[in-house]
Amino acid sequence: MVDDHDRRILVMGVSGSGKTTVGEALAERFGVPMIEGDDFHSEANKEKMHAGIALTDDDRAPWLADIHKRLMSEPAGWVLACSALKAKYRATLFEGIAGVETVLLTGSAEVLSKRMESRHGHFMPAELLQSQFDTLEPPTHAVVVDVAGTVEETEQKVVEGLAGNREQGTGSREQ
Ligand SMILES: Nc1ncnc2c1ncn2[C@@H]1O[C@H](COP(=O)(O)OP(=O)(O)OP(=O)(O)O)[C@@H](O)[C@H]1O
Ligand SMILES: [Mg+2]
C-alpha cells in the first residue's frame, strides 16, 4: 500500500463545494503539500470570473497545463484542490501521473450559493455556480461526498471514503 506521504489526491467539484477547506485538512492529515488550483489562474481569468463570465476551454488550457507542470515537479504526494470539471481537464492535469485518488464534493445549488455569498475576498461570484454545474462531468471512480453537513462531518466522510477505497483497491483507477 502507498505510504501516506506518497498519496496523490484530487479534491474536485463546483465552486463553493469546499475543495479548499477539505483539501487543506487532507494535506495536513497526510503530511503532503496542498496545491491550490486557484493560485494558477492568470489575472485575466480571475477578472473574467469576477465579472461573472464563465471560462472557456481555451481559457482553462494554460491554467491546467501550469498545474500539471507543478504536479510533475512534486517529489512525492500532494493534495490538489481544483474544480477539474471535465474529463479532458483531468486527463491534462494527470498526464503521466498514476494512482490519483479522486474526491468529488457535491451539494445543492442552494447550499453552495449561500456559502459562496457568505465568503469574503474570493474572486468567484455565486452567479457562476450554474455554469459550473452545467460543465461538470462527474468522474467514474471517486469518493463522492455530499457537503450539506458541517466541515467536520464532510472531512470525516472523505477520510472514511478514501480509506474504504484503499481497502477495496479501487482508489487509484482512472478518472
Ligand atoms: N460541510 C462543509 N464542507 C466544506 N465547506 C464548508 C462546509 N460547510 C461550510 N463550508 C464553507 O463553504 C465555503 C466554501 O468552501 P471553499 O472555499 O473551501 O470551496 P471551494 O470549493 O474551494 O470554492 P472555489 O471553487 O470557489 O474556490 C467556505 O467558507 C467553507 O468554510
Ligand atoms: Mg477554493
| Residue 36: φ, ψ to 5° | -95, 110
What is the reported pLDDT for 169?
66
- The ranges assigned to domains in the chain are 4-168
CA–CA gap between residue 30 and residue 113 (Å, rounded): 30
> Cell numbers of 107, please?
451539494
Q: Which chain residues have CB less than 5 Å from ligand 2, an ion?
A: 20
What is the reported pLDDT for 125?
82
Q: What is the pTM of this model?
A: 0.95
Block mean pLDDT (10 aa), the chain, length 175: 91 97 97 98 95 95 98 97 98 97 97 90 84 96 97 97 82 55
Give the CATH architecture of domain 4-168.
3-Layer(aba) Sandwich (3.40)
119 CA from centroid of ligand 1 (Å): 8
What is the reported pLDDT for 121?
80
Query: Radius of gyration (Cα) for the chain, nearest Å?
Result: 15
Q: Which residues contact 64 (CB under 8 A, 6 or more apart)?
A: 89, 92, 93
16 CA from centroid of ligand 1 (Å): 5
Q: Indicate if ligand 1 lies below 6 Å from the C-beta of 2.
A: no
What is the reported pLDDT for 18?
97
97 CA from centroid of ligand 1 (Å): 27
Owner of C-alpha cell 467536520: 152
What is the reported pLDDT for 123?
76
Ligand 1 atom with the smallest distance to the CA of 21 is 18
